[in-house]
């Protein structure tokens, strides 16, 4: 045996890799799942020609006026039109009244408000109104402003959270439940090395995991990388460390897998919802924004988006990086104190 094979830190880390790669499900969740998710979302939110807005009108005259601009209007009476409107098949119903035209629509729906503007313009133009100022359209479809560009950093953050927390939490609780932890502390193994082996294997996996996912996003969707790649790597490492520490904290006392997975979900579920994976976290009320901002996943995703989409450097995102660092240091310190070795 050479000296590397006699090193306990090396052996512990190698064991982590062996156990991971001999678990086919783990490979699916870590490597395949995020790609499938990105593909699915990419298909759902692919760039399409501008949406056709479905509207209805109550007279043939109105219908003809609308057809001049926007397609797909059908003539219907007011009662039938109201019913179709209620089911959401059309966004707006234009009703001919003796004194003029009435528009029936839901003003909380942005598409319906757009339909109101377009329909009104078409009807007014048909009635003879002319533009006071001549206007022309110049259309752009820029990379970096699409939904898929927005969602890729979100998925990356979510994936870093999931793999770090499950990776650490589950393995540790399993080892405790099977009395393996107790057996290990009965040997001369340095305890810090056991925890360090998880972090080391996590970081090594991270390189593969992030490269596969971002590489796919780049090739398949042309997602931009506007910031420094080195800093992006650092952000991924920091994110992974923060969630590893959180996973360690969750696993530091739990005696059964059931207790551990309950705790995991309790910790992760709020972040899936609040941290802006699929839509901007700014949509939540101002009152809970401080809470939302303080979550590690929010900080991670904001920082990843800042780097990838806006080309910001770490200096410009010091608050988010600080939050991530705090989420690394505090849970790690606490779990080292309360960790149950048997």
Q: Nearer Cβ to other proteins, position 13 or 335?
A: 13
Return the number of the residue (129 or 178) whose C-beta is nearest other proteins: 178
CB of 19 to other proteins, least distance (A): 6
Looking at the Cβ atoms of 12 and 241, the one nearer to other proteins is 12
Query: Among 134-142, 181-189, 248-256, 267-275, which window interacts with other proteins (CB under 8 A)?
Result: 181-189
Rule CB under 8 A: is residue 255 a binding residue for other proteins?
A: no
Closer residue to other proteins (CB): 21 or 45: 21
Pick out residues in 160-179 that bind other proteins (CB under 8 A). Answer: 175, 178-179
CA 271, 273, 278: angle at the middle one, nearest 5? 105
Q: Which residues pair with 57 in a beta bridge?
A: 75, 94
Q: 10, 147, 278, 284: which one contacts other proteins (CB under 8 A)? A: 10
- Interactions with other proteins, residue window 195-254 (CB under 8 A): none
Angle between helices 110-126 and 60-67 (to 10 degrees): 100
Q: In a 3-state reduction of DSSP, which class is residue 52?
A: coil
* Closer of 253 and 293 to other proteins (Cβ): 253
DSSP helix/strand/coil, 233: helix
Binding test (CB under 8 A) with other proteins, winner from 27, 46, 127, 183: 183
Per CB under 8 A, does 5 bind other proteins?
yes
Contact call for residue 18 and other proteins (CB under 8 A): yes
Asked whether the beta carbons of 221 and 143 are under 8 A apart, the reply is no
Give yes or no for residue 11 binding other proteins (CB under 8 A): yes
User: How many residues in the shown chain lie near other proteins by CB under 8 A?
Assistant: 25
Q: How far apart are CA 167 and CA 16, in angstroms?
A: 10
Q: State which of positions 21-80 bind other proteins (CB under 8 A).
A: 22-23
Residue whose C-alpha is closest to residue 209's, from 77, 28, 5, 47: 28
The answer to whether residue 182 forms part of the interface with other proteins (CB under 8 A) is yes
Interacting residue with other proteins among 98, 188, 285, 315 (CB under 8 A): 188
Cβ-based neighbours of 277, under 8 Å, separated by 6 or more: 151, 154, 155, 157, 158, 297, 301
The binder of other proteins chosen from 27, 72, 180, 333 (CB under 8 A): 180
Tokens read off for 251: 């696993």
Supply 77's token pair.
Answer: 């009476």
Q: Give the C-alpha separation, 144 to 216, whole Å.
A: 16
Look-up: residue for tokens 């939302």?
292
Q: Which two tokens stand for residue 203?
A: 């970081």
Backbone angles phi, psi at 24, to 5 degrees: -60, -35
**Can you give the binding site for other proteins, defined by CB under 8 A?**
1, 5-8, 10-12, 15, 18-19, 22-23, 175, 178-180, 182-183, 185-189, 342
């Amino acid at each position: 045996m050479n000296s590397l094979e006699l090193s306990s830190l090396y052996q512990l880390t190698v064991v982590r890799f062996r156990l991971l790669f001999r678990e086919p499900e783990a490979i699916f969740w870590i490597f395949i799942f995020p790609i499938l998710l990105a593909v699915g979302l990419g298909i759902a939110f692919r760039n399409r020609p501008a949406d056709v807005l479905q509207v209805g009108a109550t007279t043939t005259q109105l219908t003809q006026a609308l057809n001049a601009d926007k397609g797909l209007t059908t003539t219907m009476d007011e009662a039938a039109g109201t019913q179709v409107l209620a089911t959401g098949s059309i966004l707006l119903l234009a009703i001919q009244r003796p004194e003029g035209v009435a528009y029936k629509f839901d003003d909380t729906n942005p598409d319906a408000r757009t339909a109101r503007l377009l329909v009104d313009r078409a009807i007014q133009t048909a009635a003879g109104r002319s533009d006071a100022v001549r206007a022309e359209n110049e259309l752009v479809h820029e990379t970096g402003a699409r939904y898929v560009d927005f969602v890729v950093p979100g998925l990356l953050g979510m994936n870093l959270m999931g793999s770090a927390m499950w990776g650490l939490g589950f393995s540790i609780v399993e080892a405790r439940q099977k009395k393996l932890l107790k057996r290990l502390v009965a040997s001369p193994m340095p305890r810090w090395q056991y925890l360090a082996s998880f972090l080391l294997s996590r970081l090594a996996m991270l390189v593969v995991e992030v490269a596969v996912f971002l590489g796919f996003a780049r090739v398949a969707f042309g997602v931009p990388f506007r910031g420094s790649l080195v800093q992006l790597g650092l952000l991924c490492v920091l994110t992974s460390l923060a969630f590893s520490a959180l996973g360690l904290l969750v696993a530091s006392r739990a005696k059964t897998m059931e207790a551990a997975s309950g705790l995991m979900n309790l910790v992760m579920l709020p972040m899936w919802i609040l941290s802006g994976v699929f839509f901007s976290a700014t949509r939540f009320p101002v009152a809970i924004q401080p809470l939302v901002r303080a979550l590690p996943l929010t900080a991670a995703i904001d920082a990843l988006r800042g780097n990838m989409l806006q080309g910001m450097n770490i200096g410009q995102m010091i608050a988010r990086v600080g939050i991530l660092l705090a989420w690394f240091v505090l849970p790690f310190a606490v779990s080292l104190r309360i960790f149950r070795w048997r």
